[in-house]
Amino acid sequence: MTHPFLFLKWLTEQFHLNLGEHVTYTWLVMAILIGVAFVVSRSISLVPKGLQNLMETVVSGVANLLEETMGEEGKPFFPLIATFALFILVCNLIALIPGFMPPTANLNTNAALALMVFAMTHIVGVKKHGVAYLKHFMGPIWWLAPLIFIIEIIGHLARPLSLTLRLFGNMWGHEIVLMIFIALVPLVVPVPMMLMGVLVAFIQTFVFTLLAMIYIAGALEEAH
């Protein structure tokens, strides 16, 4: 239910390789990001121009968001969060070019990202608080702890699920709606939907990075 012709899928079929198209397109996105980062970092000048200007705006925007949401404590997580933001944004926006498929319209890519957030949350929590991290799951009243513990565990397990399904549902749903519109009226009519796709791409990137930040900040703060 994506674009009828995916050029990387066609390319892998020529070489008789059985790679999923989400894998090949993830590699493409990685190559784009690494290439842009390489080109920009080779020719850094004090007065930025062109591509460097754009990248500086993007990176400082993410840094500001991190500062607002997590405060000073969030500084060490900047590489992780910025990588999420750039990767998901490029993945989502690539869907607007014919012949490309967004890797985020596949459950596996999103599950990998969400599990990374899940693991990071708990690793950071244990590192910061040690055994006292268990207090996060116990709630304020000691005799309610067994009940709260189970509820908290379910809540924590639901986080990666909802992160995965939100991104997947939005991107894939948009692809399906676009395909149905193109099947009904191939000209002009799908354009507003594609415009909404740009909006969805940006909002979902924002939401994913924001939720990742909030989860990590929640593990960092003291239990009450």
Chain positions contacting other proteins, by CB under 8 A? 1, 68-69, 162, 165-166, 168-170, 172-173, 176, 203, 206-207, 210-211, 214
Q: For the chain, how far is it from start to end, CA to CA, in angstroms?
A: 48
Cβ distance to other proteins smaller for residue 100 or 172: 172
Cβ distance to other proteins smaller for residue 56 or 68: 68
| 8 A C-beta contact, residue 105 and residue 168 | yes
Cβ distance to other proteins smaller for residue 129 or 166: 166
SS3 129: helix
For 121, the token pair is: 């949350």
Quickly count helices (H) and strands (E) in the chain. 7, 0
Cβ distance to other proteins smaller for residue 65 or 124: 65
CA distances from 80 to 103, 150, 179 (A): 19, 29, 34
To other proteins, the closest distance from the beta carbon of 96 in angstroms equals 21
The structure tokens 């239990």 sit at 223
To other proteins, the closest distance from the beta carbon of 178 in angstroms equals 15
Cβ distance to other proteins smaller for residue 48 or 169: 169
To other proteins, the closest distance from the beta carbon of 165 in angstroms equals 6
To other proteins, the closest distance from the beta carbon of 168 in angstroms equals 7
To other proteins, the closest distance from the beta carbon of 61 in angstroms equals 13
Count Cβ atoms within 10 A of the Cβ of residue 186 and give its class: 0-12 exposed, 13-18 middle, 19 or more buried: exposed
